[in-house]
Structure formats: C-alpha cells, structure tokens
Amino acid sequence: MVGPSSEQDLSLLNPTTRAVLSSEYASLRYNKHCPSGMYIIPAADNILVWDGVLFVHKGYYAGSVLKFAVTFPDTYPVMAPTVRFLTDVFHPLVETRTGLLNLMARFRPWRPTEHRVHDVLHFM
C-alpha cells in the first residue's frame, strides 16, 4: 500500500510518518538541503508522493529537465522511499521500463536513523 490518497484518508496515515515527512520537507529550505536546480513539492492529495523537477546545469545531462516523483511508504522512515523518473533517462541506475532509480547503489542498507530525503535528492 502506498498510503492514503485523499484528504479524508490522511487521518489513517501513521502520525510518525506524517511528522517525519513534514519535518523533512520543511528542512529542504535550509542551505544545501535541496540540490541546486531541483524543485519538489508534496502532491496536493497525498503527502506520501512528492512531485519534482530537476534542471540540470552541468555534466552529461546539462540542459535537461527531468521530472520525477518520490513515493514514501507508509512505514517511512523505516523503509526507503522510491524515486521514479517521469522523463525518459538513459542511466545505468535507472530502470529503462519503469524509470525507477536504484537507491540501493548508495543506501544499502537503508538506515532510518541516518538517511533522509535530502540524502536521496543529492544522490539523484
């Protein structure tokens, strides 16, 4: 289960998950927490899905505009989020058919006391 999908169902969301996500989203305004050129916001109807866009300014993908979604399990931060690129990306860590980013390349194992959403965003 991905989690509640309407305002009404948000009351079913684990209070710890809601608090952690709210805190981590608020922390993105701090210096260096959100990568340069990246913009992300929780979906209007589901705090467990954040919609984002990355404007790439340098490197192999310079000039690219990459849309993505970060989906958090209702057990977050115990379990890792998933990142799915909505824009086609040719990269060895991105599954071609699904657009899923392989987070295990960096976060093996996921450590809920150490890893945060800003770590995932910087890994991207």
| pLDDT tens per residue across span 34-45 | 999 999 999 999
pLDDT averaged over every residue in the chain: 91
How is residue 15 written in tokens?
A: 């209070």
96 in Cβ contact with 45 (< 8 Å): no
CATH number of the domain enclosing 105: 3.10.110.10
Work out the percent of the chain whose per-residue pLDDT is above 90: 85
Identify whether 3 is part of a domain. Answer: no
Work out the percent of the chain whose per-residue pLDDT is above 70: 91
Identify whether 113 is part of a domain. Answer: yes
25 in Cβ contact with 115 (< 8 Å): no
Domain hosting 115: range is: 8-123
Identify whether 2 is part of a domain. Answer: no
pLDDT band at 11 (very low <50, low <70, confident <90, very high): low
Identify whether 115 is part of a domain. Answer: yes
pLDDT band at 113 (very low <50, low <70, confident <90, very high): very high
Tally of domains within the chain: 1
For the chain, the C-alpha Rg in angstroms (whole number) is 14
Contacts of 83 (CB under 8 A, 6+ apart): 68, 69, 70, 71, 100, 101, 103, 120, 124
